[in-house]
Amino acid sequence: MNDITGKRTTLRYAEAEGFVYCNAETINRVKTNNLPKGDLFGVAKAAALLGSKKTAELIPHCHPVPIDSFSIQFEILEEKNAIRIQTEAKSIGKTGIEMEALTGVTVAALVIYDLLKPIDKQIEISSVRLLQKKGGKTDAQISKFAKGSNAKILVCSDTCFAGKKEDGSGNAIAELLAKEGVEVLEIKIVPDEPTEIQNSVTTWALENVDLIITTGGTGLGPRDNTTDTIKQILDSEIPGVAEVMRSFGQDRTPFAMLSRSIAGRIKKSIVVSVPGSTNGAKESMTAILPAIFHAKKMMRGEGH
């Protein structure tokens, strides 16, 4: 199975449908509930619920996911001599729930087939498909906010500035931003000096850079000056961003709680300070991308 440890836990939604085609006489008997094996839709509904819960056991690469909500509806389409099956599923998890919705449709269709086959030899299951899915990084409502945005990255590190160590976090952040369609305008390395940090960030804010990211200097070391420096120049703080980064990191390492990451706004620029370790920076950015760019719309007065 694919590694999903780096994914965020979000609300996931999926909707699927499928059709069972039969002859006109069969449709009439379904409408009057005159069937040799009894209640058609009650049994099909129960089977769909059971089938959706067993998806991870049936499909080899599917991850087990909690199903927080699952519903199924049946519609008799007389003009098409068909029964339409529709499922909706919700889950708060790390991966999508579309396979559970599709499995529910498929199992319900098979049960309908089984219950109708004594009276109809021409039954056909067709057009099982996903109607829509929401949640996660592929959610169009979220990912659209990052498109066309730009960013600059400030690496705050004495050792990188002195050439004693290559920068890892800045380049890792740039790669993540590029995947979201964000143009990285510059990666700059400065020492852990408050004046250097402040001058770079304020200059970029005057340029109306959409997102300014600093990496490094968020810990408890004697030269970890970034957090205190950034806090002094913010027009307003966005505490929820730092909370999400720490929460996401804490699920992966017990040391994330020691990070003093901070986020806020300077003029029309979003400023986010993340840890200097490559893993810490990647996890922090994964936690907030691409949703952080929704702040652009809010700052422009366009609301939610």
Shared domain for 194 and 269, answered yes or no, is yes
Shared domain for 211 and 288, answered yes or no, is yes
* Rounded mean pLDDT, 32-47: 92
More confident of the two residues 175 and 297: 175
Residues 263, 38: Cα–Cα separation, whole Å? 61
pLDDT at residue 139, rounded to an integer: 58
Q: How many domains does the chain have?
A: 2
* Rounded mean pLDDT, 173-190: 95
Catalytic residue among 3, 68, 114, 192: 114
Shared domain for 70 and 187, answered yes or no, is no
Give the CATH number, domain containing residue 213. 3.40.980.10
Give the pLDDT confidence of 25-37 residue by residue, as tens digits. Answer: 999 999 988 888 8
DSSP 234: -
Q: Pick from 136, 167, 190: which residue ends a domain? A: 136
Residues 16, 89: Cα–Cα separation, whole Å? 9
* 114 counts as catalytic: yes
Q: Is residue 5 part of a domain?
A: no
Give the pLDDT confidence of 146-174 residue by residue, as tens digits. Answer: 778 999 999 999 999 999 999 999 999 99
Give the CATH number, domain containing residue 18. 3.30.70.640
Q: pTM for this structure?
A: 0.73
Q: Is residue 181 part of a domain?
A: yes
Residue 244's domain comprises: 140-300
Shared domain for 155 and 294, answered yes or no, is yes
Shared domain for 66 and 186, answered yes or no, is no
Q: Is residue 168 part of a domain?
A: yes
Q: Of 140-144, 165-169, 188-192, which gets the smallest average pLDDT?
A: 140-144
Residues 292, 295: Cα–Cα separation, whole Å? 6
Shared domain for 158 and 247, answered yes or no, is yes
